[in-house]
Homo-oligomer: A and B are copies of this chain.
Amino acid sequence: MKSINDYRGIVDDRIISNIYKLANRLYGKRVIHVNSTYYGGGVAEILSSLVPLMNDAGIDAGWRIIRGSNDLFSITKKFHNALQGDSINLSTIKKKLYMQANEDFSTYTHLDHDLVIIHDPQPLPLIQFYKKRQPWIWRCHIDLSHPHAELWDYLKGFILKYDSMIVSHESYKNDLPMRHYIINPAIDPLTHKNKPLNDVTIKKIINKFHIPTDKPLITQISRFDKWKDPIGVINVFKRVKKKIDCRLILCGNMASDDPEGLKIYEKVKQDAQHLIKSGDLILLTYESHILVNVLQQISRVIIQKSIREGFGLTVTEALWKQTPVVASRVGGIPLQIEHGINGFLYDPHDYDGFAEQIIELINNDELAHRIGTAGKEYVREKFLITRILIDYLELINQHLN
Contacts and interface: CB of A to CB of B under 8 A. Distances in A.
A71 B2 CA distance: 19
A64 to B, nearest CB: 7
Interface stretch (A12-20, A105-113, A291-299, A392-400): A105-113
A1 B64 contact: no
A85 interface: no
Interface in A87-144: 103-104, 107-110
B110 A60 contact: yes
Interface of A: 1-2, 30, 38-39, 48, 51-52, 55-56, 60-65, 67-69, 103-104, 107-110
A61 B108 CA distance: 6
Contacts of A55: 107-108
A60 B110 CA distance: 8
A2 B104 CA distance: 8
Contact of A51 (B30, B60, B108): B108
B1 A62 contact: no
A384 B2 CA distance: 44
Contacts of A62: 108-110
A52 B108 contact: yes
Contact of A1 (B39, B52, B63, B107): B107
A39 B37 CA distance: 13
Contact of A65 (B1, B56, B65, B69): B65
Given A60-B110, A62-B109, A62-B110, A1 B67 contact: no
B39 A103 contact: no
Contacts of A2: 107
A43 to B, nearest CB: 14
A65 B68 CA distance: 13
Nearest to A50: B108
A148 to B, nearest CB: 29
B108 A63 contact: yes
A104 B47 CA distance: 12
Contacts of A60: 110
A55 B109 CA distance: 10
A52 B107 contact: yes
Contacts of A51: 107-108
A71 to B, nearest CB: 11
Contact of A64 (B64, B69, B107): B64
A60 B112 CA distance: 12
Given A52-B104, A62-B109, A64-B64, 4 more contacts: A1-B103, A1-B107, A38-B65, A55-B108
5 contacts: A38-B67, A38-B68, A52-B107, A55-B108, A61-B108
Contacts of A108: 51-52, 55, 61-63
A104 to B, nearest CB: 7
Contacts of A104: 1, 52
Contacts of A38: 65, 67-68
Q: Nearest 4 CB-CB pairs, A to B?
A: A38-B67, A51-B108, A63-B108, A52-B107
A104 B107 CA distance: 26
A48 B108 CA distance: 10
A39 B69 contact: yes
A101 B48 CA distance: 12
